[in-house]
Structure formats: structure tokens, C-alpha cells
Chains A and B, each alone.
Chain A
């Protein structure tokens, strides 16, 4: 499986999150480059000590960069400690923005986003 890996923001920001929360999120998407149809998004959540963050609830939202397209939603399941996986459908080629709505086991909430550029047509 070819995949891209990226690390999202290290310190949490902007949204209602405890100021001391520290979460690193790595993401992979498969297939890479993404194509129209289902894709698998894998997320790895770790804390400041690089320990896996378990028991989080991760909701995924995929938006196109163009108005008028409805967002796609998915829930990620924890497959290994700190590792979360979700299937998300890309119904149209183009640029997508993936929003992650994360609720940690202590109830704290985070939001992150990353781009999936140039989803190819089939």
C-alpha cells in the first residue's frame, strides 16, 4: 500500500480545548494518490511523550474546496492503540479538505484539518 504520511499541528489550538492539551496526529490515506471512490484514512494520535492516545472518538468530515458539494462523514475506529482507521468516500475528483473532530477520553475536544489535493477521476 502506497501511502503518504503527514504530521498535523503539534499543539492544539483555536477550538475549545484545554490549553495544556498536546496531541500529534499523523495521517495516511490510501490509495495514494487518492481517487474517486472509497479511501482509507489512517490516523495515529500520540501525546507529548510520543505515547499512543487511546480511547478517543474521531469523527471525520471531508469537504470539497468548491461550494455546493455536501460534506462526507465517517467515524474512525481504533484498530490498534492510538491508531484509528476510517473509510471515506470521495464522490468527485478535485481538492478535498479533511476535518478531524477529535474527542479525547477525558472529554477534551480538538479539531484539525489537512488537505487531500487532486483526488483523481476514475
Chain B
């Protein structure tokens, strides 16, 4: 926020709408082209922008900066307009004030992505975007605050988990200033002195800045920055992943180690990365045919269900269960914790897998993004030419992106970075959890990281095979 130009932009009250507006226009273009443009995915803006450029830019921005996509989220701009007409009356149900619903939706999106081959259908991609807009309007039309962002949005949850590894965070500059502050505008909102009406909103995600830790649940909306009367909140640099290594009480969240729902989210984030990549390599078809024969299934859904159950239920039960048991056995004898339950142990250390998962998402999404980087040019040329005015010239379909062998080196780099990050975070967790014998606590989880990293590397070297016809071949 001290950077000339950029700082004053973010401090400006209308910075967010300014960033949201272009993305809203882009979303509308994608919807229209998805519905009425070419049916071939490589020639349509909806599929090209959604599944190549958006995902690639998203993970790179999360890696290099922070959760700036949520800041520029176009869905929230529409929500703001809608809330001028309809004021929400209800509070989000207490039973749903956790991540379980969004974990389920995250898995559902991964499942439908594979089942309906969303990447190959501009039409379905357009409907997915429209469904998102509709969901935001319905949820935040009925429920107060940022219920959709905090409890529903699967993209937001992805961003929250990934941004725990980002180098920037919205936080206070000096705690002393907050200690002396009596108005707490960052959470209550800035109010008119007489009428007590809120003029600048406080945090809608219940993150009280003085006790906020890390990026989890922070949409970078900058409401707190604008509300703070002391200019004491900014976008500040920090050590990536540092928030995963400790377990302090976090405002709006509680303790990570007691949040099974957030641990489940972290697990789906990590294993979902492998699952999503597994869906695009050749061995998946042999596995699917084998499962289909076993089940006598002629439809893809039950076969995919088995694969998802293996990746998201059986695999974590085996790997994390074994690692937790080993940790308890090896460490327990020394400090008298041999009666520790396995589940809290697994929850505690699951956060160490997040860097590995993010490495895999980076490798996967950047493969598509970088190898298809320039395809946006001919697709845009074609879209404009189809309007009868080829202002950008005839489509240059030969434009693609970086060579696959160059991108593969970058992919290996991301996977190594993720592996190293997971080892560092896991060791930090082991030191925090078992200060007497951190190495013993660390080794089982390091082995889990190694297994998952080897699986990621194996996946990356498999021949890619993009098919929408899994069961027929």
C-alpha cells in the first residue's frame, strides 16, 4: 500500500469495482460466445478463457502475490448492485457455518468437470458461469454478510487454501495502534456519528484484523483497509506458508487443528490436484475400463465415483491413518501422548500437504496455460471476424504457446517447490506439535509427502490424452 500509484489505487474506495468491471464484461462475453459462438472448445472464448487462461493466471497470481482474484471477483459486483434492490434478511444457518458444504461443492465441481467434460463444451461452460452468478444472487440475496464467499464458493475455497502460500497478506501494520483503537471500524464498519449508519463496510467474513492470522477466508476485498480510520491496515509481505506451520487462535476461524472441515478442504485441495491431473493422462482409460468391467457398468458416473472414492477417501484414510499411527507410536512413548486420538493428529498435519497440492495445481494449470498461451489471439480474432468485421485480421491458428519441453521443466520446478514447501511446513508442524522429538513426528509425514510427490511426478510424465469418450474406447 506504500507503493506509489498502486498504494493509492488500493486505498481508493472504488478500487474494487474498477477491477471487477473488466472481469464482469469478460464474463458476459464468455457467456455469449459460449452460448452462440463456435461449438468447438479450442475456437470458443468461454472454454479458452475459462480452462486455459483464467486457471493459469489465477494460480500464478496466487503464487506470486495473493488472493487478488477474489478482490476482482465479477460475481461480487453483480451482488453489490442486487443488494441495492434487495436487502438480505437472514443470517447464514449456524449448522452450515463451516466448510463442509463448500468441500462438497468443490468435489462436485471436480466430478462434473470429468463426467460432463466441461473443458470440451463451450455451452456447458457458459451455463456454469451463469449458474455461478445465479448462486451468488440467491445466496447473498437471502443471507447477510459474505455468506457465499465464506461458506459456499468453491473457487473461493480454492483461493483461500492456495493463498496460505502467497507472499502477501492483508494485515495490520502496528498492533499498538489497534490496541488503542476503540471504534473497531475494521470489523464494525465506519459509521456516521449521529445516525450510526454504516458508510464504509467492515469485514463481511468476520475477520477482526488485530487477531486475524493469514489469508484463510480473506477475499482481499479491502473493506477493512478503507474502514480503518488510522490507515493501519495494508497489503503486506510475509513468509509464504508461515501461517500453516503454527496453530494460533485465528479470528473468524478458530484453531486450524480443531477445524476438521478446513483440514478436509486442504485434503481435497491436495488430492484433488492429483485426481484432476489423473483425468487427463492415458492410464485413466485403462483404469476406467477395468473398473467398468468389474462393476458391469455402462455409464461413466459409477466408474468415476469409484475413482473419486479411492482418491478422496481410501487414499487419505490409508496414508494419513498410517502416518498418524506411526507418529503416535514413535512420539507418544517419549512425552506421554500415546493415547492421542489419530484423527486430531491427522487434522494437525494435513495442512503440511497443501504446498504439494498447490505445486500440482500449478504444474497442471500452467501446462495448459503456457502451451496454449497465444491461442487467445486467434480465438479472439475469430470471434470478432464472426461479427462480420475482422478488425484484428484473419485468425492466426498457428499461434499456440511455449514448447511442451520448456513447460515441462517449469512443471518439474513447481512440483519440486511444492514438495520442498510441504517438507518445511511439515517439519514446522512437527516442531510445534512435538518439540521434544520433532524428527520422529516429521518422518511419517515426510514419507506421505514423498509418496504424493512421486505420484505427481509419475502423472506428469504420462502421455496426455484429452478425451470426452472415456467409456467407449
Contacts and interface: CB of A to CB of B under 8 A. Distances in A.
Interface of A: 33, 36, 61, 63-71, 73, 92-95, 97, 117-118, 121-122
B120 interface: yes
B47 interface: yes
Interface string B115-126: 001011000000
Contacts of A61: 397
B466 A92 contact: yes
19 contacts: A36-B463, A63-B40, A65-B119, A67-B47, A67-B48, A68-B369, A69-B466, A70-B42, A70-B399, A92-B464, A93-B282, A93-B463, A93-B465, A93-B467, A95-B120, A95-B466, A117-B469, A118-B473, A121-B463
A14 to B, nearest CB: 11
B471 to A, nearest CB: 11
Nearest to A36: B463
Contact of B42 (A33, A69, A121): A69
B401 A68 contact: yes
A117 B466 CA distance: 10
A67 B51 contact: yes
B397 A71 contact: yes
Contacts of A69: 42, 372, 375, 400, 466
Given A95-B120, A118-B473, A68 B48 contact: yes
Contacts of A68: 42, 48, 51-52, 368-369, 371-372, 375, 400-401
A51 B372 CA distance: 43
Contact of A67 (B41, B397, B465): B41
A68 B48 CA distance: 7
B139 to A, nearest CB: 30
Contact of B469 (A36, A71, A95): A95
Interface residues of B, number: 34
A18 to B, nearest CB: 21
A66 B42 contact: yes
Contact of A117 (B44, B52, B467): B467
Given A97-B40, A118-B472, A67 B375 contact: yes
A63 B473 CA distance: 19
B468 interface: yes
Nearest to B401: A68
Contacts of A92: 464-466
A70 B464 contact: no
Given A95-B466, A118-B472, 9 more contacts: A33-B473, A65-B467, A66-B41, A70-B375, A70-B399, A93-B463, A117-B467, A117-B473, A118-B469
B364 interface: no
A75 to B, nearest CB: 15
B398 interface: yes
A93 B462 CA distance: 11
B171 interface: no
B40 A66 contact: no
A64 B466 contact: yes
Contact of A121 (B41, B52, B465): B465
